[in-house]
Structure 1
Amino acid sequence: MTNVLILSPSFGKWSAGPAEVLADAGLTLCRPSRPGPLTSAQVRDELDGMAAVVVGLDEVDAEAISTATDLRVIAKHGVGVDNIDVAAAAARGIRVVNVPNANAEAVADLVLGLMLNLMRRIGDADASIRRGEWETFAGPELGELTVGIVGYGRIGRAVGRRAAAFGTRLVAFDPYAPADSFGETERAGSIAELLECSDLVTLHMPGGGPPIIGAEQLRLLEGGYLINAARGDLVDEAAVAGALAEGTLRGYAADAFTREPLRDSPLLGAPNTILTPHIGAFSHATNARMGTSVARDVVAVLRAETPAHEVLPPDA
C-alpha cells in the first residue's frame, strides 16, 4: 500500500478529479489527525509511512522531514514554496513539485473584486443596511485612477487586463519581466516611482524577504489604496494599520497575511479594511486544475517519471 498524506484542506474540495487521479494509480489517500495548517513538529508526526504529502500552508522544514524514511515527494497545492525547505528535501532525495500557472485568473478576479469593494465600500453598505440604516457611500470610479501593479507576471498581467477594461491608467514595476510583456502598460523604474504616481497599488511579487511596503513607502502612496493578495510578508502590517488609523491610507484589502490564520493582528482593528482568508485560488475551475496537476506530478514521481512542475533548490 502506497500512502499519500493530504494536508491541504482545499485539495479536491470542489472536484473529485484530483482524488481520482491518485486512486486510479493505486494510491491510498490519508488525512491528518488534526486540522491545519500544521507546525513542523505536527507535520513530522503525520509523515510516518507516507510516500507523498500534499501541503497547503503547513510548515515542511528540515526537521519535519528528518524522520520521514518513506517520503519521496512533497507537493505544494499552490505556487509558493516558502513553507517548504526545498534544499533539505533535495538533500534527502525527496522531490518537490508545485502548481505554477493554475491560479492567475482566479486571483485576478478576486483582486478586481477587492478594488471595487474598497472604492465603493460595498461591504460597508451591506452592513449598514443590516443595522437598519440607509446610509449612502460614495467613492471614485476605477477609470479615474492610476493603478500600480508591483510584479508583472501572469497574475499581475491578468489584473492589468481586467483593470484596463475600465479605462484605467496602468503602471507596473517588475525588474525581471521582459520589456515586451508590458504592452501599453507604463513601466516604472522602481517601486518608489510607482507609488508616487499611483492611486491604488496591488502587490503580486513572491515573498520570503523583508517587507517592500513599510511606513516610508506608505507615505509615497498617501491618500491611496493598497491591495495584497500575494504574500503577507510583503507589507509591514503594523505600518499599514497605523496609516489607516491616521487616514493617510484610504483603504487596504488583503488576502495574505504575515501569520495565517490571522490572529491578534493590528489589521483586525484598523478602519477601511477588507480581509479575506487566502481565497485567491479558490474558484471551482482553479481548484480542479491545481489538484489534478499536483496529483499527476505525485504519480509521476512515485513511478520514477519526470514531473511536469518540479521545484529545485536555488543552487541546483
Structure 2
Amino acid sequence: MANVFVSTFPFCRTSKVALDLLESNGHKVTVNPLGRKMKPEEVASHAKDFDALIAGTEDLTELVTKTNHLKIISRVGVGLDSVPLDLCKEKGIAVAYTPDAVSPAVSELAVCLIVDGMRKVSYADLEIRKGEWTRPYGERIGGATIGIVGFGRIGKRVASHLLGYLPKEILVCDLMDQTEAIASLSGLAHSIKNVNDTLGKNWSSTSIKQVSFETLLKNSDAITLHVPLTTQTRNLLDHSKFSLMKPKAVLVNTARGEIVNEKDLFEYLKSAPLGCAAMDVFEEEPYHGPLCELQNVILTQHMGSCSNDCREDMEREAAENVVGFWKEEKIERVV
C-alpha cells in the first residue's frame, strides 16, 4: 500500500471520513504538521519520499522536480495552476482533482460577498466597533446588473442563486459559447417572475446575456470572478480595467488571487472610496498586505470551500482518487 502525505490545510477538521477511507484501505497517512499552508520548499522537503500526495493550492513545482517516488497527486479542489502538469506527465505522475464538490460552497460565498459589498454590511460592522453609527446606504441586487466572469460550474451556480434576487440583468463573459446554459437559466428566470406575479409583484424577469469583458466591466454594479489562473488570466484585472468600472461597483474574487493585480486594486480603491472589493484569495497567503488598511475592502481567508459538507466531500473524493489509483481502477476525476 501507499505512503500518503497530506499537504493541504485544513484536512479532516470536522469529519474523519477521508482519513478513515485511506487507512481502512491499508494506506499510511501523514498529515501536514505545520498547521498552515505549506510553502513550496516545505512541501518538497516533507513529501518527496511519499508515494501519493493529497494537496491544496500549494505550489508543487519544486516537489515534482525533486521527487522520484511520487505516483499520484490528488487535489482537494478544482484549480490546477499550482500543479506542473507537463512535468507530471513527463515523470509519469498521475493528477486527479475534485471539480464538483467545491462548487456549492464557493458559489454561495460569492453571492454573500456581493450582498455584503453592495449593502455595506462589513463596513457597518467596522463603524460600530469604532463607536460610529452612520447607517450607510447601499444598493440592492434587485434591479441591478451583475457581471459573472467565467461561466463554468461555479459561475452557473452563482447565476442561478442570483435569480431569486431579481436583478435587472446578468452579464456573462466566457471564452465558450454559453447560449444553451443562458437559455436554460432564462427559462428559470421567467418562472421566478411568474411566481412573483402571483404575489402581486409586477416585475420583469432577469435578462441574461453573454457580452465582452469590457462591456461587462462598464455596465455591472457587481462583478464576480470565476475563471482559472492561467497566463491569460493573470493580472486580468489591473489599473486599465478598474478604470472602466462604475464608481460604486463591487468586485468579488473567490477564484485565484493573481487574477487581480493587488497593487493596482489598492491604488484604485484609495482613489474610488465609493467602490468596494471582496477578496477571498490573494497572491500570497496568509495575507498581510496593504489592502488591510482600507475600509472599502472585505477580506476573507480563502474560505470559499469551507463549509462542513463541501470540505468533507472534497476530502473524501481526493482520498477516493488515491484509493482507486492503487486498486488500478478507472479514476473518474483524473486530469
Distance (Å, rounded) in 2 between the aligned partners of 1:7 and 1:177: 37
CA shift for structure 1 position 160: 0.9
Deviating more after overlay: 18-27 vs 31-40: 31-40
CA shift for structure 1 position 29: 1.2
Give the letter aligned to residue 237 of structure 1: E
* Corresponding residue for residue 198 of structure 2: none
Question: The residue matched to 1:144 in structure 2 has which SS?
Answer: coil
* Corresponding residue for residue 306 of structure 2: 282
Residue 292 of structure 1 pairs with residue 291 of structure 2: no
Is this contact kept in 1: 2:225–2:253, CA < 8 A?
yes
2:267 pairs, out of 228, 242, 247, with: 242
Distance (Å, rounded) in 1 between the aligned partners of 2:15 and 2:155: 27
Q: How does 1:226-241 map to 2 (within 5 A)?
A: 226-241=251-266
**CA separation of 1:48 and 1:198: change in aligned 2, threshold 3 A:** closer
* Corresponding residue for residue 107 of structure 1: 106
* Corresponding residue for residue 211 of structure 2: 189
Deviating more after overlay: 243-252 vs 78-87: 243-252
Distance (Å, rounded) in 2 between the aligned partners of 1:73 and 1:67: 14
Residue 22 of structure 1 pairs with residue 44 of structure 2: no
Residue 3 of structure 1 pairs with residue 3 of structure 2: yes
Q: Deviations over 1:103-126 (max 9, x none)?
A: 111111111111111122212222
2:291 pairs, out of 253, 267, 284, with: 267
5+ residue gaps, structure 2, are 187-206
**CA separation of 1:235 and 1:73: change in aligned 2, threshold 3 A:** same
CA shift for structure 1 position 48: 4.3
Distance (Å, rounded) in 2 between the aligned partners of 1:162 and 1:32: 35
2:235 pairs, out of 211, 214, 223, with: 211
Percent sequence identity over aligned pairs: 28
Question: The residue matched to 2:302 in structure 1 has which SS?
Answer: coil
* Corresponding residue for residue 84 of structure 2: 85
Q: Deviations over 1:233-254 (max 9, x none)?
A: 1111122111211116610001
CA RMSD of aligned residues (A): 1.8
Distance (Å, rounded) in 1 between the aligned partners of 2:217 and 2:313: 35
Q: Deviations over 1:257-288 (max 9, x none)?
A: 1222213x332223300010110011111011
Distance (Å, rounded) in 1 between the aligned partners of 2:35 and 2:284: 16
5+ residue gaps, structure 1, are 312-316
Deviating more after overlay: 47-56 vs 271-280: 47-56
Superposition TM-score, scaled by structure 1 size: 0.92
CA shift for structure 1 position 32: 3.3
Distance (Å, rounded) in 1 between the aligned partners of 2:268 and 2:9: 34
Residue 220 of structure 1 pairs with residue 239 of structure 2: no
* Corresponding residue for residue 58 of structure 1: 58
CA shift for structure 1 position 136: 1.2
Give the letter aligned to residue 306 of structure 1: K
CA shift for structure 1 position 68: 2.6
CA shift for structure 1 position 128: 2.8
Question: The residue matched to 1:244 in structure 2 has which SS?
Answer: helix
Give the letter aligned to residue 174 of structure 2: D
CA shift for structure 1 position 194: 1.0
**CA separation of 1:4 and 1:272: change in aligned 2, threshold 3 A:** same
CA shift for structure 1 position 33: 4.2
Q: Deviations over 1:106-159 (max 9, x none)?
A: 111111111111122212222333344433121111113100111111111111
CA shift for structure 1 position 18: 1.0
Superposition TM-score, scaled by structure 2 size: 0.87
CA shift for structure 1 position 256: 1.1
* Corresponding residue for residue 310 of structure 1: 334
Distance (Å, rounded) in 2 between the aligned partners of 1:259 and 1:249: 26
Distance (Å, rounded) in 2 between the aligned partners of 1:301 and 1:191: 40
**CA separation of 1:3 and 1:206: change in aligned 2, threshold 3 A:** same
CA shift for structure 1 position 177: 4.3
CA shift for structure 1 position 36: 4.0
**CA separation of 1:235 and 1:249: change in aligned 2, threshold 3 A:** farther
Give the letter aligned to residue 29 of structure 2: L
CA shift for structure 1 position 306: 2.1
**CA separation of 1:143 and 1:73: change in aligned 2, threshold 3 A:** same
Deviating more after overlay: 76-85 vs 188-197: 188-197
Distance (Å, rounded) in 1 between the aligned partners of 2:271 and 2:330: 53
* Corresponding residue for residue 314 of structure 1: none
Is this contact kept in 1: 2:275–2:296, CA < 8 A?
yes
* Corresponding residue for residue 256 of structure 1: 281
